[in-house]
């Protein structure tokens, strides 16, 4: 494998982003240090220590909430287009620091440098989307049954929005939420994954620059760090009306129960067990490209990664053989070397989950056709590099019913009409992303119909992985049902209010009720 020395620019990137050896675990834009315990961030690329953050204590959290609620009083009364101007400036800052932040994302999370740059581009794109949206936050006007009355509905900001993000997209998912919440007049408190805290510090630094340059309160964007116990400070807090949480289904169920218990609102983006259906009319070349990137991109650690390939028996061997040949061409190594296709898993716990999944599929009667394994030696010292694997399996295998957050692809065979493949796809508990490869119009429309895919995302002739910010992103069933990013997802961050105005000298009651005095 080719290797890259530590002169690839990460030190320069950290300097540009203002990420120091020890960073505040709690921040409202200032450099006040927390009194909490230390979290060390080690890169899965080479095992080196990137830096440290201090966890947020209850006392720190109290200060953060004070800053956030105070900032909300200022931020909510700014006209939305003026808030859009601030978001525009934030997007421009991201453009200036795209390379540096992309390198940090790649180095701290382990995804390829191109994917790191792509993640920052998603942040820029959602800022652009939000800027336009700032002049389009709309309500509805409707006719009243009472003469001389006007009815309409409008949207108001919630207040403090709590954001809990996952390691696999350490910056983009925060931006999806934050850019829209800011436009809507909300302020945000963000708990990034404890596995990628430096990315959180970098983003907070960029946001703080923008607010300082505009003489705005630093509490509009707040950062807290730590494990689930720190997240609980937000989920239990009645002053945080909306919690947006991205992560595992297990985590999401805990958050949903806690927030619902206080009658708060939650936006959940949870697990995905995504499938591509390959019909007899599929373009095999396109299928292989979509399936391979979907299965091995980000080392299989995307919520939209392709886990299952449901292939018709008539083309099964052809697709299988093409996949095996394609996997032989994969280059595994340092993700900052753009010659490599696959970087490391996030940590050794993820490696253990990967190896256990391969053992499980064999125990259940599956057949490994592309061998996996953990890589060691020069360039693999972190212990986080694994070989993407392919296993033949059956739909009812227990391991196939669960999300394996690693580069393991399960091949499933179907017979008969497209309805049989759709049934296999839909029988898992998750419902995030789905795709069909076919040149048959009837099959494509059936897949997209009411009786088709039950996922929040359904694609034709592209893979399951990757989404543009213009469309609402999210899924059904154990994926949580939330929607982020584009379309009308902005409404999640606001409270709806119906208004009736009487401009007469009479007071008629609705439904013709008589109440004479």
Closest CA to 30 of 175, 221, 268: 221
Whether the Cβ atoms of residue 221 and residue 76 lie closer than 8 Å to each other: no
Report the relative pairing of strands 160-164 and 187-191 from DSSP bridges.
parallel
Residue 384 is a catalytic residue: no
DSSP-derived 3-state class of residue 170: coil
Cα separation, 75 vs 93, in Å, equals: 20
Closest CA to 24 of 161, 222, 174: 222
224's tokens: 């807290």
Task: Find the catalytic residue in 303, 443, 455, 478.
Answer: 303
72's tokens: 């909300």
List the helix and strand counts (H, then E) for the chain: 15, 23
Closest CA to 306 of 436, 497, 416: 436
Phi then psi for 414, rounded to 5 degrees? -125, 155
In 217-358 the beta strands, taken as DSSP E runs, fall at 221-224, 242-246, 265-269, 274-278, 306-312
Residue 303 is a catalytic residue: yes
Total number of residues shown for the chain:
517
Whether the Cβ atoms of residue 415 and residue 307 lie closer than 8 Å to each other: no
Spell out the residues 6+ positions from residue 11 whose beta carbon is closer than 8 angstroms to its own: none
In 389-492 the beta strands, taken as DSSP E runs, fall at 389-392, 408-414, 430-431, 433-437, 457-460, 472-473, 476-477, 484-485
Phi then psi for 244, rounded to 5 degrees? -105, 115
Cα separation, 201 vs 217, in Å, equals: 18
Spell out the residues 6+ positions from residue 331 whose beta carbon is closer than 8 angstroms to its own: 1, 2, 339, 340, 341, 342
Helix ranges (H only) for 185-227 are 197-213
DSSP-derived 3-state class of residue 413: strand
> If you ran DSSP here, which 8-state letter would residue 374 be given?
B
Closest CA to 324 of 274, 368, 280: 368
Task: Find the catalytic residue in 24, 108, 218, 269.
Answer: 269
Spell out the residues 6+ positions from residue 464 whose beta carbon is closer than 8 angstroms to its own: 272, 274, 275, 276, 290, 294, 304, 305, 306, 433, 434, 435, 457
Residues marked active site are found at 269, 303
């Amino acid at each position: 494998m080719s290797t890259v020395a530590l002169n690839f620019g990460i030190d320069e990137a950290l300097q540009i982003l203002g990420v120091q050896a020890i960073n505040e675990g709690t921040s409202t834009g200032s450099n006040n240090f927390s009194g909490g315990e230390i979290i060390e961030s080690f890169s899965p690329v080479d095992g080196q220590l990137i830096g440290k953050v201090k966890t947020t204590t209850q006392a720190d959290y109290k200060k953060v909430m004070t800053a956030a609620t105070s900032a909300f009083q200022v931020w909510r009364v700014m006209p939305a287009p003026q808030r859009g101007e601030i978001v525009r400036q934030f997007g421009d800052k991201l453009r200036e620091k795209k390379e540096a932040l992309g390198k940090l994302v790649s180095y701290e999370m382990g995804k390829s440098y191109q994917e790191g740059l792509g993640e920052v581009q998603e942040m820029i794109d959602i800022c652009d989307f939000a800027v336009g949206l700032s002049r389009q936050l709309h309500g509805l006007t409707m006719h009243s049954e009472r003469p001389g009355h006007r009815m309409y509905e409008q949207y108001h900001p919630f207040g403090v929005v709590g954001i809990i993000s996952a390691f696999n997209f350490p910056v983009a998912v925060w931006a999806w939420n934050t850019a829209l919440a800011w436009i809507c007049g909300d302020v945000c408190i963000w708990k990034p994954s404890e596995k990628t805290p430096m990315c959180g510090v970098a983003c907070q630094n960029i946001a703080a620059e923008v607010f300082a340059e505009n003489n705005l309160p630093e509490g509009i964007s707040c950062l807290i760090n730590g494990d689930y116990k720190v997240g609980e400070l937000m989920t239990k807090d009645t002053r945080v009306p909306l919690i947006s949480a991205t992560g595992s289904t297990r985590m999401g169920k805990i958050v949903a129960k806690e927030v619902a218990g206080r009658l708060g609102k939650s936006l959940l983006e949870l697990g995905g067990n995504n499938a591509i259906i390959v019909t007899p009319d599929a373009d095999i070349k396109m299928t292989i490209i979509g399936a391979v990137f979907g299965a091995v991109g980000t080392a299989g650690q995307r919520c939209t990664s392709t886990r299952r390939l449901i292939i018709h028996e008539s083309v099964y061997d052809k697709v299988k053989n093409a996949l095996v040949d394609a996997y032989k061409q994969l280059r595994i190594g340092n993700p900052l070397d753009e010659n490599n296709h696959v970087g490391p898993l996030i940590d050794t716990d993820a490696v253990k989950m990967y190896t256990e999944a391969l053992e499980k599929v064999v125990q259940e009667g599956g057949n490994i056709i592309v061998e996996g394994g953990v890589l060691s030696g020069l360039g693999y010292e972190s212990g986080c590099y694994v070989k993407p694997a392919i296993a033949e399996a059956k739909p009812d295998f227990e391991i196939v019913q669960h999300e394996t957050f690693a580069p393991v692809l399960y091949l499933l065979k179907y017979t008969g009409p497209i309805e049989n493949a759709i049934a296999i796809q839909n029988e898992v508990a998750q419902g995030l992303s789905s795709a069909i490869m076919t040149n048959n119009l009837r099959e494509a429309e059936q897949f997209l119909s009411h009786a088709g895919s039950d996922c929040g995302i359904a694609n034709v002739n592209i893979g399951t992985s990757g989404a543009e910010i213009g469309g609402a992103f999210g899924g059904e069933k154990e994926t949580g049902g939330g929607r982020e990013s584009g379309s009308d997802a902005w409404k999640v961050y606001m409270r709806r209010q119906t208004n009736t105005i009487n401009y007469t000298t009479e007071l008629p009651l609705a439904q013709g009720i008589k109440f004479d005095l």
